[in-house]
Each structure stands twice: as C-alpha cells, then as structure tokens.
Amino acid sequence: MEHLTVTAAQQCVLESVKLLGAESVKLEQLLGRVLAEDIRANRDQPPYDVSAMDGFALRSADVANAPATLEIIEDIKAGDMPQKTVQAGQCARIMTGAPVPPGADAVIRVEDTQAVSDTQVQINVIVKASNDIRPRGESMKNGEVVLQRGTEIIPGAVGMLAMVKRSTVQVYRQPRVAILSTGDELEGLNDPFDANKIPDANTYALMAQVQALGIEPVLLGIARDDPDELRRYLQDGLKYDVLLVSGGTSVGVHDYVRPTLEGLGVQMKFWRVEMKPGHPMAFGVKDSAFVFGLPGNPVSSMVCFEQFVLPALRRMMGFTRIHRRTITARLAQDVKHMHSRTEFVRVMLSREADGYAATPAGAQGSGILASMSRADGLMTVPADSKGMAAGDKVTVQLLDGTAYQIDAGGEW
Ligand code: AMP
Ligand code: MG
C-alpha cells in the first residue's frame, strides 16, 4: 500500500480526484478552460446563400458556353440585401459574403471575367450551377450542438462561442492550489543572503508548473521543521482543493509532514513511489482536499508534479487529455540503470532525418536544477530495464514549452 509503482500511484491519485463543479465565465477569460455544457447554434450561418468570392452572380444556363457577355444590373456588397432579380442575360456584381440575388444560381470569380463596359462583363469560363455559393446553414444550423461538453477551449472554440453570441459560458471550475515549502535550512526569496542556507526553489518551480496549467496558486511560504508550526501551515493549506507541500516527507527524524498530516485527519493513500527521482512521495485525502507530499529535492519535486499532480489537476478541470504528450525518440548516448525503479531522465530533443533524438540534458542528480532548466522532456526508463544503449528507441514525455519550435517545420 505504501510503496507503489509509478503506474499504481498515478492510478490511485486519478481514482481519488473528482471533476470540480461548473462556474460561469466570460468569453474573454475562457481560453484553456473546459466546457461544462453543450453549446448550440442560435441561427443558421450563413443566414442565406452567400457568395464565396468577389465576382458576379449569374444564371448558369447563360454561361453553358463561354465566353458570354452579360448585363450588370446591380452591385451587392456584404451586408446589403439584393434589390433585383437576375433575369436571362443578366448578372449582379457581388462581394464575398453578400447574399446571392434571386434568379442567380452560381457565382463566377472576378479573375475569370473581363470588363466590357460599366454595365457589361464578359464571362470567360463555363460556370456550373451552385459554383462558389456557400449555402445557408453551411457553417452551422440553428439549434445544432456546435461544441460539446468536455471540449477544451482553444482559440477556434472561442471564435465559435462568439459566433453563437455566448458572452458567458459554463466551464469546470479550476482547483484552488496552495504551495508550502518545509525545512529549517530554507532561505526565502526575500530573506537576507546566508551562505549556509538553501534557497527555496520549490515554491517557485511548483508555482510555475501550476501557472503553466492556467491556475494561479497561493504561496503559503516556508514552514520550519517544527511540529506545531508545520501543523498550523498544513491546517491552513487543507482549506484549498489541492495542497502541494515539499520536503519533510521522507524518513528522517525531522520529517514531520506525514505524521502531522495524519494528525490533522488526512488519510494517507501512499507515501513512497518506486521512482527516481522522487522516491519519498506521499498522497493523502481529507474531505474534498487532496495533499501531495512532494520530495524536497527540487528536481524530484518537479518530476513528481509532472507524474501525479499535473494529471490530477487536469482531471479536476474536466480535461480528457490529462497526460503530457509522449513521443518516440532515438537515444543519443548510453544511459545506465542500476536499480529497479522507474527512472525519469531529463533530455533535450533534436530533430533527425527520421524522427527525434534524445540527449540527456546533463547531470541527473535530484537536486540539479540546471539539467531540468534546459530539458525538453522526461525520458522514461522502465523499472525492469538493464540500461539503455545509444540508438535505442525511447519514450519521452514532452515538458511544457516543447509544443513550440524555432522554425516552421524545422528545429525545436
Ligand atoms: P527533505 O525531503 O526535506 O529531506 O529535503 C531533501 C533535500 O531537498 C534537502 O537537501 C533539502 O535541503 C532540499 N530542499 C527541501 N526543500 C527545498 C526547497 N523548497 N527548495 C530547495 N531545496 C529544498
Ligand atoms: Mg527537510
């Protein structure tokens, strides 16, 4: 129970967390949220048959043979309503998006015509019925579901919501997340410099990981390794949906986090995971609050966030795609694996002729943030691996930021 594999621990976390309730959010603030309602069209779009081109609306029967010369009876701009009916031998000058006038059954683009006079145009090509006409309701029909509950709101969905005039929408609530660091040795960002202390990196690295998911966390600060002080901080942290506490979760005599949480009524689900980095990793539940006891070492804490906290937060927010995207890459150099835990190796990715190459991003110690700060991804080394060799195919979880690259179609 207390010692779990990565997969089992992830499953335990994901079975425990629940989708949060819905809230009403303004269109301007919706990017990155998940719809908690079906969205229906409130009109046909386009509202009538419209021209797909700048050109001439005509009767296809008149241009069964080309070239043919037609009389121009009016000019129809987008936003205008046609005033006349197109009769045999006639056409109307029409702009993209303008309604096709009665009598006309096709549009020819201006590039396939040539002016004869102010009132006459020569059509150079044969035109078939319905050519370059966008029929009424082509984009959406009144009453149809245009976006389903559970849809991730990307810019295209924001455009669609504006198209159906939804100024507010029901989306799943975001979890309120609190972050707490623990340790007598920690020096706060604004504390005076002390060469004997260790700067509190975890508060801010975790903050950024939470922010990358679109959530603004609350920073609780640093609790000292003192049971009473820790208890006060943890009690405060349990008021949030999710509490991330780093350090003090191991088995040292001053590692009070686990017993203190238990004393506060938190049911610990597990407190060790067979992984590297990140061995001392605890997870507990109290009422509707979830606590992640993350390891103190900065890289361990970040890697545990990636494996357990990130999918949990995304599930709470209603996402279906809760995990980091993985890709297959070729390992650029040998990687040893001398233990029986799942290992996450910080790697940099580059594009090769036939895919991606993964190169370890530097020293992999669990406190060495330098390699984490330039990693494109985390390569998984399975627990039962006997080591990996250059050229092996490996699986890499993309870290945030790697969804972008330098050149279109080029290097990362
Ligand atoms: P712990 O799990 O408390 O034993 O901490 C393990 C290691 O991580 C120790 O070397 C700590 O100094 C370090 N550590 C703990 N918390 C932080 C933090 N917030 N920022 C940077 N390093 C930390
Ligand atoms: Mg500590």
Q: What is the pLDDT of residue 251?
A: 78
Q: Is 293 in the pocket of ligand 1 (CB under 6 A)?
A: no
Q: How far is the CA of 297 from the centre of ligand 1 (A)?
A: 5
Please compute the mean of the pLDDT values over residues 33-56 and round it to a whole number.
97
Of the listed ligands, the closest to the CA of 250 is 1
Does residue 363 share a domain with residue 234? Answer: no
3-state secondary structure the chain: CCEECHHHHHHHHHHHCCCCCEEEEEHHHCCCCEECCCEECCCCECCCCEECCCEEEECHHHHCCCCEEEEEEEEECCCCCCCCCCCCCEEEEECCCCECCCCCCEEEEHHHEEEEECCEEEECCCCCCCCCEECCCCCECCCCEEECCCCECCHHHHHHHHHCCCCEEEEECCCCEEEEEECCCEECCCCCCCCCCEECCHHHHHHHHHHCCCCCCEEEEEECCCHHHHHHHHHHHCCCCEEEEECCCCCCCCCCHHHHHHHCCCEEEECEECEECCCCCEEEEECCEEEEEECCCHHHHHHHHHHHHHHHHHHHCCCCCCCCCEEEEEECCCECCCCCCEEEEEEEEEEECCEEEEEECCCCCCCCHHHHHCCCEEEEECCCCCCECCCCEEEEEECCCCCCCCCCCCCC
Task: Please report, for the domain that includes residue 113, its CATH number.
Answer: 2.170.190.11
Residue 31: inside a domain: yes
Residue 403: inside a domain: no
Residue 321: inside a domain: no
Does residue 286 share a domain with residue 196? Answer: yes
d(CA 394, CA 288): 38
Domain termination residue (choose one: 282, 316, 350): 316
Q: Hunting for tokens 């010369």 — which residue is that?
A: 69
Does residue 333 share a domain with residue 309? Answer: no
Task: Please report, for the domain that includes residue 35, its CATH number.
Answer: 3.90.105.10
Closest ligand 1 atom, residue 185 Cα = 12
Does residue 161 share a domain with residue 179? Answer: no
Does residue 124 share a domain with residue 60? Answer: yes
Q: What is the pLDDT of residue 279?
A: 85
Domain termination residue (choose one: 273, 291, 316): 316
Which pLDDT band holds residue 410 (cuts at 50, 70, 90)? low
Does residue 157 share a domain with residue 100? Answer: no
Does residue 225 share a domain with residue 116? Answer: no
Residue 139: inside a domain: no
pLDDT one-digit tens code per residue, 230-249: 999 999 999 999 999 999 98
Residue 410: inside a domain: no
Q: Is 135 in the pocket of ligand 1 (CB under 6 A)?
A: no
Residue 126: inside a domain: yes
Does residue 296 share a domain with residue 222? Answer: yes
Task: Please report, for the domain that includes residue 388, its CATH number.
Answer: 2.40.340.10
Does residue 294 share a domain with residue 242? Answer: yes
pLDDT one-digit tens code per residue, 168-214: 999 999 999 999 999 999 999 999 999 999 999 999 999 999 999 99
pLDDT one-digit tens code per residue, 273-316: 999 998 899 999 999 999 999 999 999 999 999 999 999 999 99
Does residue 222 share a domain with residue 300? Answer: yes
Of the listed ligands, the closest to the CA of 225 is 2
Residue to mutate (ligand 1; options 202, 257, 272; most atoms within 8 A of CB): 202
Please compute the mean of the pLDDT values over residues 34-60 and round it to a whole number.
97
Does residue 195 share a domain with residue 230? Answer: yes
Closest ligand 1 atom, residue 300 Cα = 8
Residue 74: inside a domain: yes
Please compute the mean of the pLDDT values over residues 336-346 and round it to a whole number.
96
Which pLDDT band holds residue 250 (cuts at 50, 70, 90)? confident
Q: How far is the CA of 77 from the centre of ligand 2 (A)?
A: 71
Q: Is 278 in the pocket of ligand 1 (CB under 6 A)?
A: no
Q: In this prediction, what percent of the chain has a pLDDT beyond 70?
A: 97
Q: Is 277 in the pocket of ligand 1 (CB under 6 A)?
A: no
Q: Is 360 in the pocket of ligand 1 (CB under 6 A)?
A: no
pLDDT reading at 58 higher than 80 = yes
Task: Please report, for the domain that includes residue 284, its CATH number.
Answer: 3.40.980.10
Domain span at residue 212? 3-19+174-316
Residue 411: inside a domain: no
Q: In this prediction, what percent of the chain has a pLDDT beyond 90?
A: 92
Does residue 225 share a domain with residue 336? Answer: no
pLDDT reading at 1 higher than 60 = no
Q: In the chain, how many domains are there?
A: 4
Q: Is 298 in the pocket of ligand 1 (CB under 6 A)?
A: yes
Please compute the mean of the pLDDT values over residues 355-372 and round it to a whole number.
96
Domain termination residue (choose one: 86, 107, 134): 134
Q: What is the pLDDT of residue 285?
A: 98
Q: What value does the mean pLDDT of the chain take? A: 95
Q: How far is the CA of 253 from the centre of ligand 2 (A)?
A: 10
Q: Is 181 in the pocket of ligand 1 (CB under 6 A)?
A: yes
Q: Is 188 in the pocket of ligand 1 (CB under 6 A)?
A: no
